[in-house]
Chains A and B, each alone.
Chain A
Amino acid sequence: MKEFLIILFSVILIDNLVLSKFLGICSFIGLSKNLKNAMGMSAAVIFVMFVATAVTYPIFYGLLEPNGLSYLQTVIFILVIASVVQILEAILRKAFPPLYQGMGIYLPLITTNCAILGVMLINMTEGYTFLQAIFSSVGAGIGFMLAMFLFAGVRSKMEHSDIPHFMRGLPITFVAAAIVSVSFMGFKGIIENLFG
């Protein structure tokens, strides 16, 4: 139990996907304009994280590793994740139309999201067991959600603030992202103190 808690804490707070590992920045910047978009995107990420791990883990340990093809993981994972997202999209469109409309464009966007591929590759390098890998992926998704929510809040506050002219638009967004990222640095060492 403790090891799962450690994995969860570390992927959500310390090695936060967006704010510490700078993975998935494009969707983080692009879809954090309001809370509704942030919610849709992070829900889609958590969902795809779970499914992608469930698919890539058996492929890696069942097919690639025994044949000494670990070096193929990047290519195969890209292929598999893209296909799985496509299949999920088709199933969702038919079976759960409201959910499909809610996720909208965010689901196909995930096809080429570096965050998903990054987490899959990290899971394999860390040598996690299947359950640990699932925890790590879903945790990373929750971490993404946390970062999105915090940043969406910051950005909605920025809408009505007096920003210097040359900083308006993207520059101030990046600066704000940097400051939010600094706040996550404060979590360094939390694991040692909690579980150490």
Chain B
Amino acid sequence: MNILLLTGSVFTPAIIGGAVALVMGIAIFIIFKLFAVKTDPRVDEINAILPGVNCGGCGYSGCIGYAEALASGADVDSTKCTAGGEDTAAELAAYLGVEAGLYIPKVAHVYCQGTQDHTKKRYEYTGTLHCASAHGLYSGPNSCTYGCLGFGDCVNVCEFNALYIENGIAHVNHENCTACGKCVDACPKHLIHMIPKHEAATVCTCSNHWPGAVTRKNCSIGCIGCTRCVKTCPVDAIHMDDSLAVIDQMICIHCGECVKVCPTFAIRQGLLSGPGTTVDNSVIQKAARAKEKEKVSAKVAE
């Protein structure tokens, strides 16, 4: 197939090289025209509305994934962006011409308050400083095997600097938290849950399912499953999961009745608003109890 007789001349490589390049160029041109994929211009515009932090809180792989789903109509819920919050939800709804759904801002909450003062160490852990590795060694060094290990796997995955370790357990800085849910997946103990962001959110801040006697031995602030809160709750928002009280955040009316009766201070009311600030429930609880005592003694006196 000696197509050119100009052997030895500079034209042969030039022509053959050029011909190959030309053929490839034409082939690419034709293929790209034939297989052109129409992209929706709205995807980019929706993507511009989204905050662009690619946290994955909406359940899609990054902001562009959510934008594509919205543009194609695969998803009609404009309230899924947790990082953008209410403003983004409203803007998206306006752009898409749909009615803005009820946006419930959420926030991460650590269901454990077993700090070093409340729990003991079962053994001295000297391995890698990761919750996952510590959890792999007999469920970690803490006396409560349900509780926070405090090595900060959640802190490491958080892109918004919303978590910090204090006194051996993780805390959430609720102002920074965008409820992306990365910490929820990272925690080997499954201690972090997303709850509706409410000033007076009432949470049974404990995750252990042990019977009360065992809990008492291992943590002085854990839920012992006495069910007093269940009986007190006026809206039946609390149910028992084994020996653990669980408050349904969607039903809870934040009345604070359960906080008053909880004997171990496991139920807490109010969100932390930043590092260093803690809501001291024991004060409220002690005051409530003192009042009750007074009433009782008044009755006795009568």
Contact = CB atoms under 8 A, between A and B. Distances in A.
B37 A83 contact: no
The DSSP consensus for interface residues of chain A is: helix
A80 B7 contact: no
Nearest to B127: A162
A90 to B, nearest CB: 5
B287 to A, nearest CB: 47
Contacts of A64: 16
B24 interface: yes
A173 interface: no
B7 A160 contact: no
A80 B130 CA distance: 49
Contacts of B132: 160
B27 A76 contact: no
B128 A162 contact: yes
B2 interface: yes
A162 B132 CA distance: 13
B35 A69 contact: no
Nearest to A100: B37
Interface in A19-66: 59, 62-64, 66
Interface in A72-94: 72, 75-76, 79-80, 83, 86-87, 90-91, 93-94
Given A90-B31, A94-B35, A161 B16 contact: no
A64 B12 CA distance: 10
A94 B37 contact: yes
B4 interface: yes
B3 A67 contact: yes
Interface residues of A, number: 24
B28 interface: yes
A63 B13 CA distance: 10
Contacts of B16: 63-64, 67, 69, 72
The DSSP consensus for interface residues of chain B is: helix
Interface residues on B, range: 20 to 34
Q: Which of B2, B3, B20, B133 has the most CB of A within 10 A?
A: B20
A67 B12 contact: yes
A69 B221 CA distance: 82
A72 B32 contact: no
Contacts of A93: 35, 37
A80 B37 contact: no
12 contacts: A59-B20, A62-B1, A64-B16, A67-B7, A67-B16, A69-B12, A69-B13, A72-B13, A90-B32, A93-B35, A94-B35, A160-B128
Given A67-B12, A160-B130, A160-B132, 12 more contacts: A59-B20, A68-B12, A69-B13, A72-B13, A79-B21, A83-B24, A83-B27, A87-B27, A87-B28, A93-B35, A94-B36, A160-B133
- List the 4 shortest-distance A-B pairs measured between CB atoms, nearest first: A94-B35, A83-B24, A162-B128, A90-B35
